[in-house]
Amino acid sequence: MIIAEMKPVKEILEMVRDYQNILIVGCKGCVAVCNAGGPKEVAILGALLRIARRKEGRDIVVDERVLDRQCEPQLIEQLAGPVKENNYDAIVSMACSVGPQYIAEQFDTMVVLPGLNTGFMGGTVVHGIWGEYCAGCGTCQIQSFGGLCPLTRCAKGLLNGPCGGSVDGKCEVNKDVDCVWELIYNRMKKLGQLDRLAQAVGAKDWSTSLSGGPRRIIREDLTI
């Protein structure tokens, strides 16, 4: 899923400084699972903003809504009614960055603000901790690495690792992170694939990643 976290509340307060009537929109997708922008977090942010502004003596009206997902234009349409009725100064989207962009596209005279910092594609490590596992390179080759992705999980993204900084099995950049090349080696050893590990992996074709420009994926059998 996409892992994000709420922006520092001071930053959000600064963004809404000049506004008196705002809508916070949450999302029940990825950001609800990683406790960044789901119904609970929408309520928390709403309360924080109202408390902070009342303290300053400049109350703010904060409406709170949650959509099933914000990465679907048809679901964004559900905001049309509330937006029309309430004359909001701004909408704070608590979805990953796709959300605010979709809202901005549909409500093109509305100020749209991101309530989250979107981080990465990843999963739950343990409850409360989420880790990065996929960089979206567009050409998955984890089968060459025992099922792990060195592009994402090696700080240097080496396809022929490890580097000399992997001294004690930990990453040179962050001592709390295991060197993924140690993990790859251990796994490939268990799989009996060390001879495969000994073969050089060629230079990556980055044109299928963001490096090649913003991407689209199309299923022709599904387009209308």
CB of 3 to another protein, least distance (A): 19
CA atoms of 68 and 86, how far apart (whole Å)? 21
- Within 18-47, the residues that bind another protein by CB under 8 A are 40, 43-44, 47
* Beta-strand pair 61-67/21-27: parallel
* Beta-strand pair 116-126/111-114: unpaired
Residues binding another protein: number (CB under 8 A): 48
**Residue closer to another protein, measured from CB, 32 or 71:** 32
Beta bridge partners of 118: 4
φ, ψ (nearest 5 deg) of residue 23 = -115, 130
3-class state of residue 68 by DSSP: coil
Exactly one of 81, 192, 202, 214 binds another protein (CB under 8 A); which one?
202
Exactly one of 8, 123, 136, 212 binds another protein (CB under 8 A); which one?
8
CB of 72 to another protein, least distance (A): 27
Amino acid at 144: S
Q: Catalog residues that contact another protein under the rule CB under 8 A.
A: 8-10, 13, 40, 43-44, 47-48, 50-52, 54-57, 59, 155-169, 172-174, 181-182, 185, 194, 197-204, 206
